[in-house]
């Protein structure tokens, strides 16, 4: 059964605040009254460490992220409560205290000290247990940042690395392995896929069984990849189908490109070697090889191998009739 835990503290005059000279006390001043000014209005002066508060990185790190730059949805989700009520004043929380945290399951960890018993006392702010640097890094290694976690679907064998960001409405079917520093954008569907580090996928991408995406590559919106390898730092950004293909390093596949891999009877392979540039709306009729550093002009239908460093273009000549009127 899910339980809602309220971490808020009522803000009122006289409450305990951070005990340093530069932090303001809580002041509540009556400014307007219904019987005199015609409306109830109060002025409230508080500091940023009043009551339940969120410390943004900017609080301690120069040029760090400020609170307004932290998406509200990152603060909502399923949480794991770790009971550390046995910790004493000023005692560090170390990695061994956190070993039971499961990997890649929770994006929010609540460390429970039962420190509320000291609310109203000076020690509430200054002598509580604290998270050591090594323990903080350990928690980050355990986590996956997910936006809208209730809309993300995993299989029992899904494997996800460190610092992975998963947006809403993503489906992980069987046999998916994700590396580190990967971003999976909304409405993407992955099955039987291996993705290396530093890859971006989606939104609205479909990666089918037998697909391998190497580090630094990008699979963009409305792209389908089936039984293909996309090598390092290559891009398939928009509206393309890549099937039964080997794509080399630093390749750019233009919008609307199709590998024509099925002739009605059998599947054939497309081999796109390193640093090839494929223009938009191109059809590559397999079996076909595009050799290193070749360029394919937009709108081409390629049926023959293209030699290294050459331009291949099959576009028909443009015709124009002057002063044309439709009948």
Q: Pick 169 or 226 by higher pLDDT.
A: 226
Note the pLDDT tens digit of each residue in 289-322. 999 999 999 999 999 999 999 999 998 888 888 8
pLDDT of residue 149: 55
295/287 Cα distance (integer angstroms): 18
Enumerate the active-site residues. 238
Lowest mean pLDDT among 30-34, 192-196, 292-296: 30-34
pLDDT of residue 240: 97
Domain boundaries defined on the chain: 1-67, 77-143, 145-312
- Residues 90, 95, 100, 101, CA torsion sign: positive
In this structure, the chain runs to a length of: 327
Q: Pick 97 or 103 by higher pLDDT.
A: 97
For residue 225, pLDDT over 60 is answered with: yes
122/192 Cα distance (integer angstroms): 56
Q: Could you please report the per-residue DSSP string of 249-285? A: TT-EE-TT-EEE-B-SS-B--EEE-TT-EE-SS-EEE
> How many CB atoms sit inside 10 A of residue 45's CB?
12
Q: How many Cα atoms are found within 13 Å in the side-chain-facing hemisphere of 246?
A: 11
Classify residue 267 by its DSSP letter: B
Q: What H or E segment, with its residue span, contains residue 172?
A: strand 171-172
Q: What H or E segment, with its residue span, contains residue 126?
A: helix 123-126
Average pLDDT rounded to a whole number, residues 128-134: 76
pLDDT of residue 143: 62
3-state secondary structure (DSSP) of residue 282: coil
pLDDT of residue 150: 52
- Architecture of the domain defined by 145-312: 3 Solenoid (2.160)
Q: What is the pTM for the complete model shown?
A: 0.59
């Amino acid at each position: 059964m899910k339980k809602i835990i309220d971490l808020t503290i009522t803000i009122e005059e006289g409450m305990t605040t951070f005990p340093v000279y530069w932090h303001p006390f809580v002041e509540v001043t009556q400014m307007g009254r219904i019987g005199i000014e015609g409306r109830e209005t109060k002025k409230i002066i508080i500091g940023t460490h009043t009551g339940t508060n969120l410390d943004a990185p900017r609080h301690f790190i120069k040029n760090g992220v400020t609170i307004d730059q932290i998406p509200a949805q990152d603060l909502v989700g399923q949480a794991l409560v770790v009971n550390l009520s046995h910790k004493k004043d000023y005692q560090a929380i170390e990695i061994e205290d956190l070993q039971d945290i499961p990997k890649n399951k929770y994006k929010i960890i609540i460390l429970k000290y039962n420190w509320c018993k000291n609310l109203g006392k000076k020690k509430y702010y200054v002598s509580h247990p604290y998270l050591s640097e090594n323990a903080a890094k350990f928690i980050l290694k355990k986590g996956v940042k997910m936006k809208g976690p209730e809309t993300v679907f995993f299989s029992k064998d899904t494997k996800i690395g460190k610092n992975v960001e998963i947006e809403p409405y993503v489906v992980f079917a069987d046999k998916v392995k994700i590396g580190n520093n990967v971003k999976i954008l909304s409405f993407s569907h992955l099955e039987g896929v291996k993705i290396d580090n530093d890859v971006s996928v989606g939104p609205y991408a479909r990666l089918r069984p037998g697909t391998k995406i190497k580090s630094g590559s990008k699979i963009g919106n409305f792209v389908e990849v089936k039984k293909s390898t996309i090598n390092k730092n290559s891009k398939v950004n928009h509206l393309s189908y890549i099937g039964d293909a080997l794509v080399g390093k630093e390749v750019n596949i233009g919008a609307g490109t199709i590998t024509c891999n099925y002739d009605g009877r059998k599947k054939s392979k497309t081999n796109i070697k390193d640093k090839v540039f494929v223009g938009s709306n191109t059809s590559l009729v397999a079996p076909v090889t595009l050799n290193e550093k070749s360029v394919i002009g937009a709108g081409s239908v390629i049926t023959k191998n293209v030699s290294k460093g050459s331009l291949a273009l099959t576009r028909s000549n443009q015709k124009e009739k002057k002063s044309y009127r439709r009948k």
